[in-house]
Amino acid sequence: MDHREEVRDFLASRRARLTPADVGLPATMGRRRVPGLRRDEVAVLAGVSSEYYARLERGNLAGASDAVLDALAAALRLDEAEQLHLRNLAHAANQPARKRCTPTRAASVPPSLQRVLDSMTTAPAYLHDTRLDIVAANDLARELHAPVYDFARATGAPPNTARFAFLDPAGRSFYADWEQVSRDCVAALHSAAGRNPFDKPLSDLVGELSTRSDHFRALWATHDVRLHRTGVKRLRHPDVGVLALDYDVMQVVQEPGLMLVAYSAAPGSAEADGLALLASLAATRRDAATTAPGA
């Protein structure tokens, strides 16, 4: 991933989605040569010179002050996730060259965190890293995501929700709202790339998905980002059917880059019954694995 190219395309895509009317500028006569706002219009709104904004949109965010970034965010009507992405891109632009070349350390899972996951016996919970690799999970989460783990075993790659969603045909069935999930996966990876555009394993994953999936490549070109905190996800388990589960995402403070995802269901709901059935299936398979010859 080229950092300057990412900055350029992100700013240009945010500019292209706005019209003069959206930002209170008078409409110009005749046909406009570009979709959305022109660079000079963004410069006026942000209170900077046209030359300076052109430099920023060419991908050079180095040295841009917080005030300039705030002005750009206001001019381009950026939401919270987009503002954070812009600041992350600016932070990366100011990193020294030697730090950019430092290999990204793989996220580690302390034993205490695994114990926390295992103690959550009625809620599927797992940890994922910035590349959406599932790096730890409790039994219920592994059972819920059985198709993801099946694909990982078949390919020899780590269980990864983005790779599964885009490269395994079973992903379209497992994720009942696959179109939304696919957009969310790309938005999460784009946000991660903004935080560390020099993460080679992340670049390799984006390259793999771009090469093998036209849909991923089209979504990546939108440069959309969003924050994943809470919501409802519908998952179709082969033995239980569709479960519409609430999910909450929490950052693991002591291990930057790790996020904890926990699913839950309202007591007495059909989803709660489905999770109880999944827990029974997980216990049966765990017991079978421990009593199997050679276990």
- 106 domain-assigned: no
**Whether residue 170 sits in one domain with residue 133:** yes
**Whether residue 159 sits in one domain with residue 76:** no
- 122 domain-assigned: yes
**Whether residue 243 sits in one domain with residue 149:** yes
- 102 domain-assigned: no
Domain boundary among 69, 94, 119: 94
Domain boundary among 35, 64, 94: 94
**Whether residue 236 sits in one domain with residue 90:** no
**Whether residue 55 sits in one domain with residue 26:** yes
- 103 domain-assigned: no
Domain boundary among 62, 94, 126: 94
**Whether residue 152 sits in one domain with residue 221:** yes
CATH of the domain at 197: 3.30.450.180
pLDDT value for 3: 85
pLDDT value for 109: 87
pLDDT value for 129: 94
pLDDT value for 108: 74
- 76 domain-assigned: yes
Total structural domains within the chain: 2
**Whether residue 73 sits in one domain with residue 167:** no
**Whether residue 115 sits in one domain with residue 90:** no
Residue 288 burial (CB count, 10 A): 10
**Whether residue 144 sits in one domain with residue 284:** yes
- 69 domain-assigned: yes
pLDDT value for 29: 47
- 60 domain-assigned: yes
- Strand arrangement, sheet containing 134-137: 134-137, 125-128, 259-264, 241-251, 230-237
**Whether residue 278 sits in one domain with residue 164:** yes
**Whether residue 133 sits in one domain with residue 256:** yes
pLDDT along the chain (295 residues), means of 10: 88 93 73 81 95 94 94 96 95 72 65 94 95 96 96 96 97 97 96 89 95 97 92 94 96 89 96 94 77 62
pLDDT value for 24: 85
**Whether residue 84 sits in one domain with residue 164:** no
- 149 domain-assigned: yes
CATH of the domain at 73: 1.10.260.40
**Residue span of the structural domain in which 240 resides:** 111-291
